[in-house]
Amino acid sequence: MLSVVLPAKDEKGNIGLLIREIAGVLAPSQRFEIVVVDDASTDGTGQEVLDAARDVNCECKLIRHCQSTGQSTAVTTGVLNAEGEWIVTLDADGQNDPADIPAMLKAAARQQNPHFCIAGYRKNRKDTAWKRFQSQVANRIRNALLHDGVPDTGCGLKLFPRETFLRLPYFDHMHRYLPALIKRLGGEVAIVEVNHRDRAAGVSKYNAWNRAWVGIVDLMGVIWLRRRSRIATIETVESHSVRQAS
């Protein structure tokens, strides 16, 4: 089964439509569940989730945080409560297009490594020129330091095995570094070009200030983790068992 994890905070007007779109794309050919983590919304996001899931009759879990803890923690809560072998994450604002999920599933099916990340690349972003410029600079700096090979790590549309995610170190904002963290495990990263859309409602929770300063600290932390990691290659496993006399 596939688990679609949606971290959401104050996304009324977006989340219901997104759930209907996900069900429309996946229901004909894929067993799936939707796991929505409501990160202490105050606008009725949770009720819209329940109404949409009831309308399309899809398997859906709604988990509510008592206090807002941020996107990475919401994603972690969703993965911990998911039942699927593979996880797909999307931003709950509707800017990621669920129609891109089948292409990501095909890319995942081609993977030979048990640890992998299929990362979406928003080649034609529907953002302001200033926001695109910020992201381009940040992506170039990150890629130069981490060598993760990802042109757009900020894209919320990603696919990875649940077991892989559970092996990753948790920290706030880790969702922006999933490809680098998965490579740290010896995993593979594949890029799929995806659509990017305008918001139907609401405003972005991020700006240049709240991303730049924490981004510097997080980047240094990921570099430290990569340098301290060691991957063991197992040559052989031998065992000997002793049968007890009855």
| 235 in a structural domain | no
Question: What is the span of the domain harbouring residue 205?
Answer: 2-228
Task: Give the CATH number of the domain where residue 54 resides.
Answer: 3.90.550.10
pLDDT of residue 68: 95
pLDDT digits 0-9 by tens, 41-63: 999 999 999 999 999 999 999 99
Looking at residue 60, its amino acid is C
pLDDT digits 0-9 by tens, 141-178: 666 666 677 787 788 999 999 999 999 998 888 888 89
| 200 in a structural domain | yes
Question: Which of the 8 DSSP states describes residue 234?
Answer: P
Q: Where are the beta strands (DSSP E) in the chain?
A: 2-8, 32-38, 60-64, 86-89, 116-121, 158-161, 188-193
Q: Return the residue matching tokens 């229901």.
A: 27
Whether the CB-CB separation of 10 and 41 falls below 8 Å is answered with: yes
For each of the chain's 246 residues, which pLDDT tens digit applies? Answer: 999 999 999 999 999 999 999 999 999 999 999 999 999 999 999 999 999 999 999 999 999 999 999 999 999 999 999 999 999 999 999 999 999 999 999 999 999 999 999 999 988 776 666 566 566 666 666 666 666 777 877 889 999 999 999 999 988 888 888 998 999 899 999 999 999 887 777 666 555 545 555 566 676 666 666 766 666 566 667 766 666 655
CA 207/CA 209 separation, integer angstroms: 6
pLDDT of residue 145: 65
Whether the CB-CB separation of 69 and 39 falls below 8 Å is answered with: yes
Record the tokens describing residue 17, joined without a space. Answer: 């439509």
- The pTM assigned to this predicted structure is 0.81
| 186 in a structural domain | yes
Structural domains in the chain (count): 1
| 237 in a structural domain | no
Mean pLDDT of the chain: 85
| 169 in a structural domain | yes
| 244 in a structural domain | no
| 135 in a structural domain | yes
| 243 in a structural domain | no
- Which residue, 21, 135, 157, is CA-closest to 89? 157
